[in-house]
């Protein structure tokens, strides 16, 4: 065996399926590359705390994203823009502590990587050293390629994010679908190829027409992770508060709600209040003597 040939343990990594196959260690970029090769699709969820991350990890979700969507889904901001590195480090460390098997990917928040590849490296290193994440994600195609290249050269696995990039909400004037029309479609394909060429191990495609996402998925050798990008992506990601029905009000068209936790928790809080008011809680079985 020479330095470039995989060890027997690494070989097993590439043949073990993401669901049911890998049980005793964290999912790696090699597992995700092998999943694309054999056509195994996978799910990714966001997580912002140890408790929720632990539930998704136990359920077998292979990749958890500490998204900067924490800004609007967890920390009470209107957008992802105000999220800071210190907040991302704190949330990411909690998610790492709450999990054993999932690959943990953390977002580089707005302003933490756009200045230069050196700034991206400095902050990616913080997420890896202080929080213990296995990979980082950053937004942008061609414009972020130099930073991705430097991070990958330095040993940082990078997930890219193109299409609708929420950190640019003020430049977009909202959250419009991207890649519609020939010119925009060509630009998206160029972005996808640029981040793959730079070394990204996966590419998030957000709010992109399904036909275009299918074309990108076919042309890339690395997995695509869709959110509002149709069924042909290699993987799908949802924000956990959306998929679990915690979000108040309207959710985007691409969200499927798999539970209604907001109603369940609201009902529980109201039942608790009624029991307290009526004096039926605490009952004898909840009482020390």
- Footprint of ligand KIV (CB under 6 A): 46, 65, 67-69, 107, 161, 204, 227, 237, 239
Question: DSSP assignment of 202-264, as one string?
Answer: EEEEES--HHHHHHHHHH-SSPEEEESS-TTSSEEEE-HHHHTT-S-S---TT------HHHH
Closest to ligand KIV by CB, 34 vs 240, is 240
Three-class SS state of 48: coil
| Residue least distant from ligand KIV (Cβ) | 67
DSSP line for 122-149:
HHHHHIIIII--SEEEEE-SGGGHHHHH
| Nearer to ligand KIV among residue 40 and residue 68 (C-beta) | 68
The 8-class DSSP code of residue 162 comes to E
Q: Which residues of 226-252 are buried (b: 16+ CB within 10 A; e: fewer)?
A: bbbbbebbbbbbbbbbbbbbbbeeebe
**80 DSSP 8-state letter:** S
Smallest distance, ligand KIV to C-beta of residue 83, A: 9
Least distance from ligand KIV to the Cβ atom of residue 289, Å: 49
Instruction: Provide the strand spans (E) within 32-102.
Output: 42-46, 63-66
Radius of gyration of the chain from Cα atoms? 20
Of 16 and 226, the one with the shorter C-beta distance to ligand KIV is 226
Minimum distance from residue 139 beta carbon to ligand KIV (Å): 8
CB 131 → ligand KIV: shortest distance, Å?
15
Structure token digits, residue 167 = 């950190």
For 65, other C-beta atoms within 10 Å of its C-beta total 30
183 part of the active site? no
Nearest by Cα to 179 from 151, 146, 215, 153: 215
To ligand KIV, the closest distance from the beta carbon of 32 in angstroms equals 15
> Which residue in 58, 183, 206, 285 is the catalytic one?
206
Catalytic residue list: 206
């Amino acid at each position: 065996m020479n330095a470039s040939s995989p060890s027997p343990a690494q070989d097993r990594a590439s043949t073990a399926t993401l669901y049911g196959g890998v049980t005793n260690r964290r999912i790696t970029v090699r597992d995700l590359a092998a999943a694309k090769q054999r056509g195994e699709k996978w799910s990714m969820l966001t997580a912002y705390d140890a408790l929720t991350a632990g539930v998704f990890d136990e359920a077998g979700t292979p990749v958890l994203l500490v998204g900067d969507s924490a800004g609007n889904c967890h920390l009470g901001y209107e957008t992802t823009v105000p999220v800071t590195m210190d907040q991302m480090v704190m949330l990411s460390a909690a998610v790492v502590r709450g999990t054993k098997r999932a690959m943990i990917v953390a977002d580089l928040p707005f302003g933490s990587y756009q200045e230069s590849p050196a700034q991206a490296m400095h902050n990616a290193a913080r997420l890896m050293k202080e929080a213990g994440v296995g990979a980082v994600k950053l937004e942008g195609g061609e414009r972020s390629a130099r930073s991705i290249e430097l991070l990958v050269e330095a040993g940082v696995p990078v997930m890219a994010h193109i299409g609708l990039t929420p950190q640019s909400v003020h430049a977009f004037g909202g959250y419009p679908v991207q890649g519609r029309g020939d010119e925009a479609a060509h630009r998206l394909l160029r972005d996808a190829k640029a981040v793959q060429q730079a070394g990204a191990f996966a590419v998030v495609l957000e709010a992109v027409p399904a036909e275009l996402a299918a074309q990108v998925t076919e042309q890339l050798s690395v997995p695509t992770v869709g959110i509002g990008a149709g069924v042909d992506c290699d993987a799908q990601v949802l924000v956990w508060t959306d998929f679990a029905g915690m979000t108040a009000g309207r959710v985007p068209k691409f969200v499927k709600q798999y539970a209604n936790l907001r109603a369940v928790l609201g009902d529980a809080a109201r039942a608790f209040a009624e029991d307290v008011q009526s004096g039926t809680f605490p009952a004898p079985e909840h009482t020390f003597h």
